A and B are shown apart, each in its own frame.
Chain A
């Protein structure tokens, strides 16, 4: 269903002919998305092809586009950095808004510790700029390549540094929003003309409406600017970087430490989480390196740090006695970065950490504290510039579980994730990297208190059987969680992407939080009267409709 010439010309008049296209090859580059193959017929890598790709350059242009979409009843799907099948049109008849022209850091308020950004500002660039002022931003778990605005407004926004720097949904201050009806709403203090410093007033505090349950994923208008809370950065104005590509490292000053902490049991492991929360230590804390599987991950990290080696060498690495030993040692482990705001602050944290380890039977993994590995760990976790390593084995990766809660809750589903995964790895349908391929934030919100573990399944995206298997594994993960009384977890969101509208409605209707879907219907009814947003802002139909 191509756009009418009239509608196309109207859009072209807004952005100029160089910023709109309906060339099939260009449109297919928008339709191509990670995970499309798990839900599309024939495992196609392509989501529905947008009718046009449009690149607005300002809020005024976005508003004009949205009004045009209302006039011509065209659906619109905006994305910022656009990584995920969530970002693509979900159906035919949609135009894709690629926000890359709106890429400016508009303001950094050093004293009040916030930055105002447009959609295409990524974590790496904002972090580099604010570090010059002794500040830092929370880089989300998806890493340095991702839009901060998207993480704050439209998804979850947790990351390894959330324990100190908060989640980005918490860090969201004032916001400029082109609502689906074409009106512009400015939330928080901005709504009262008082600047960007506060999300909750003295102006409309609509964070709940803006974000819904987990962010509207581009389904509820277009967020054009937002302010984000920053946190202190006690390091140099510029990250010092050394080493040979790909595993660069950072020789940071003495007030930084990075450790991999290992524990004799999961009981001890989660006990350490509580003690870290209680004592408020840690700049970054994350179970990160286990994401590549506890059987294979250590070998990978070691070869990754040798620029003369490639993935083709991984088998050889697994056979090395020292790596076998380290693999065993790292099975129940997480990574922590301590940063001293003052020398005494670091000293205090070190002492507390040592006591926590003494109390829980944990230890600092010596091989990971060697200077080279420590410097690698520091840079890796601070910048999070290597998160595409999720795809390193074969280009296919899917995450399940990740239900956030206190450590005791997370402890409850950890072994379910392993049990469900084992047969798929044993049969060789998913990468046999160890049934524990779980990662997650030690404290997924500021100050800690809750955490999560995400189980990774690695499938060969070019292999039909393996791709089929990952879908079936995801279903088993969701079922496994529900059967044991847990909420369905991240995999359920992915599975929902492959459902028909009717199937989705029935799943919303049986969800424990179905009231939320009803409220979202009411909200959408008011601000999206022509239904130009997509179903990723989930709503439950009124009974009988």
Chain B
């Protein structure tokens, strides 16, 4: 697809501003009613989904050209998709999030890039990670674990740590625990270790389609060779890439986030909790596990008009509007932990506020990224919870940094860490 293929989506934006807010039915307060970090931070209309559709149209019509301002509009956005969910409350014929991506693809193809993103891409090409780190350090997180190395052995299940968990030492306990839990529950599981390749999901969101495809093909090849049937990850970005993007390239693996796997094991009685964790926590839905974590549905279709002027797809096009993301398993896991109380924030599930790290924002606009995280921390605090719990290393890193920057008391955990405490 090319940007021009989305012209109808752009012109049919009604400029209603739903994309700036959480679904109105769910508005519980003035304070936590907004959905789009980008417009809240940058304020001008262009920084909303509707605004970006008009900017795309302006670009396509030659009314405005490439400029630093345009790049800022295009990339100062987490591609978290809250706008897309709100838009699709009323619209079936605008693929807003796809337009946000197409704008990025177009700019990248035309060489209109951001230096900070290019640094990430260069490192990805050379070192296979987005963390600006050397390839050699990739497997360190798993040192000392008794686990199959799938670059040499075979297993049913591969555990993909992902770039953040691999290189962020403060978070290493999380993939280690997840892997150990699954291993102990009898799962035939292995890792790629230092041969692991970035999932490519983050660079896809940054607009680097080719680099994504390269990563995906590499991973698909390696997993196939290792006889893998199921891919498990504790990273929401990776989950989205494997669940939603890889099938488009022909991948055919079962994809599970560890919260889903652990939820399954708890329900099957294969994980049992022995200790109470007396704590009140609130759960943050990672965008890529929640609204963007819906399963891929294969589809090809043609446009036709019915009833005179209703453009529809034949056969019906799958709808990605956040309805089928992974929301309940992490909540069920938390609720199963003895002594733990889960309290909800106002913006949850498909209309959760983003952590701020996605879409290349953490790389190019660290201040905006932290501001977005701080906003979520405020919301978490408003529930009275002692901790905000996530299921993605990018969210957790950003929350930890925001908590530190603001000298807050609230703790940041991964679901896995609380499971570990209860076992």
Contact = CB atoms under 8 A, between A and B. Distances in A.
Interface of A: 18-19, 21, 23-26, 28-34, 37, 45-46, 49, 53, 55, 81-83, 98, 100-101, 105, 121-122, 124-129, 143-145, 238-239, 241, 244-246, 248, 250, 296, 307, 309-315, 379, 383-397, 425, 427-433, 458-463, 466
B14 interface: yes
Contacts of A46: 54, 58, 63
A245 B23 contact: yes
Interface stretch (B83-91, B175-183, B204-212, B391-399): B83-91
Nearest to B291: A245
A248 B15 CA distance: 23
A29 B46 contact: yes
B311 interface: yes
A83 B24 contact: no
B194 interface: no
B43 A311 contact: no
A462 B8 contact: yes
A134 to B, nearest CB: 16
A18 B76 CA distance: 15
A49 B12 CA distance: 19
Contacts of B93: 311, 394-395
B94 A311 contact: no
B63 A28 contact: yes
Nearest to B20: A145
**Most-contacted residue by chain B among A385, A425, A461, A463 (CB, 10 A):** A385
Nearest to B87: A388
Contacts of A81: 17
B46 A26 contact: yes
Interface in B358-402: none
Contacts of A101: 43
A33 B15 contact: yes
Contacts of B310: 311, 314, 393-394, 431, 458, 460
A463 B12 CA distance: 10
Interface string B283-327: 000000000000000000000011111111111110101110000
B25 interface: yes
Given A128-B29, A388-B14, A391-B14, A245 B89 contact: yes
B141 interface: no
Contacts of A463: 309
A34 B14 contact: yes
A313 B12 CA distance: 20
Contacts of A105: 30
**Most-contacted residue by chain B among A245, A315, A390 (CB, 10 A):** A245
Contact of B59 (A25, A239, A459): A25
Given A32-B54, A55-B44, A312-B312, 13 more contacts: A25-B70, A28-B57, A29-B55, A31-B54, A45-B10, A82-B45, A126-B30, A128-B33, A129-B29, A245-B85, A395-B91, A431-B307, A463-B309
17 contacts: A24-B65, A25-B46, A25-B73, A28-B46, A83-B15, A101-B43, A126-B30, A129-B30, A245-B322, A307-B323, A311-B312, A312-B312, A383-B24, A388-B18, A395-B91, A430-B308, A458-B309
Contact of A428 (B11, B26, B92, B308): B308
Contacts of B193: none
B155 interface: no
Contacts of A25: 46, 55, 58-59, 64, 67, 69-70, 73
B118 interface: no
B102 interface: no
**Most-contacted residue by chain A among B13, B43, B73 (CB, 10 A):** B43
A462 B11 contact: yes
A430 B310 CA distance: 9
Interface in B66-104: 67, 69-70, 73, 85, 88-94
Nearest to A44: B61
A229 to B, nearest CB: 19
Interface string B240-261: 0000000000000000000000
A53 B45 contact: yes
Given A24-B63, A125-B27, A395-B11, A460 B311 contact: yes
A383 B15 contact: no
A162 B307 CA distance: 34
Given A26-B45, A100-B43, A462-B11, A385 B24 contact: yes
A315 to B, nearest CB: 6
A425 B308 contact: yes
Contact of B25 (A18, A296, A385, A462): A385
Contact of B306 (A19, A241, A309, A315): A315
Given A29-B45, A45-B11, A144 B24 contact: yes
A246 B11 CA distance: 22
A430 B307 CA distance: 8
Contact of B307 (A238, A309, A433): A433
A34 B14 CA distance: 5
Contacts of B311: 394, 460, 462
The 10 lowest CB-CB distance pairs between A and B, nearest first, are A395-B12, A385-B24, A32-B54, A428-B308, A312-B316, A388-B90, A311-B92, A24-B64, A29-B46, A28-B58
Interface of B: 7-8, 10-18, 21, 23-30, 33, 43-46, 50-55, 57-59, 63-65, 67, 69-70, 73, 85, 88-94, 305-317, 319, 321-323, 350
A156 B57 CA distance: 32
Nearest to B43: A55
A461 B12 contact: yes
**Most-contacted residue by chain A among B64, B67, B85 (CB, 10 A):** B64
Given A32-B54, A55-B43, A248-B23, A391 B7 contact: no
B45 A30 contact: yes
A255 B54 CA distance: 45
A432 B307 contact: yes
Contacts of B33: 124-125, 128
Contacts of A55: 43-44
A56 to B, nearest CB: 11
Contacts of B350: 245
A269 B65 CA distance: 56
A289 to B, nearest CB: 14
A393 B46 CA distance: 25
A204 to B, nearest CB: 30
B90 A391 contact: yes
B323 A26 contact: no
Given A313-B316, A314-B310, A391-B16, A386 B30 contact: no
A32 B316 CA distance: 30
B45 A394 contact: no
Nearest to B12: A395
Given A26-B73, A98-B44, A461-B11, A428 B309 contact: yes
A128 B30 contact: yes
Contacts of B309: 393-394, 396, 428-432, 458-460, 463, 466
B39 to A, nearest CB: 8
A392 B12 CA distance: 10
A453 to B, nearest CB: 22
Nearest to B321: A245
Given A32-B15, A248-B25, A389 B92 contact: no
A128 B12 contact: no
A21 B44 contact: yes
Contacts of B29: 125, 128-129
Contact of B90 (A37, A129, A386): A386
A395 B73 contact: no
A388 B83 CA distance: 14
B46 A432 contact: no
Contact of B91 (A145, A313, A392): A392
A250 B45 contact: no
B385 to A, nearest CB: 18
B25 A379 contact: yes
A128 B23 CA distance: 13
A246 B89 contact: yes
Contacts of A49: 63
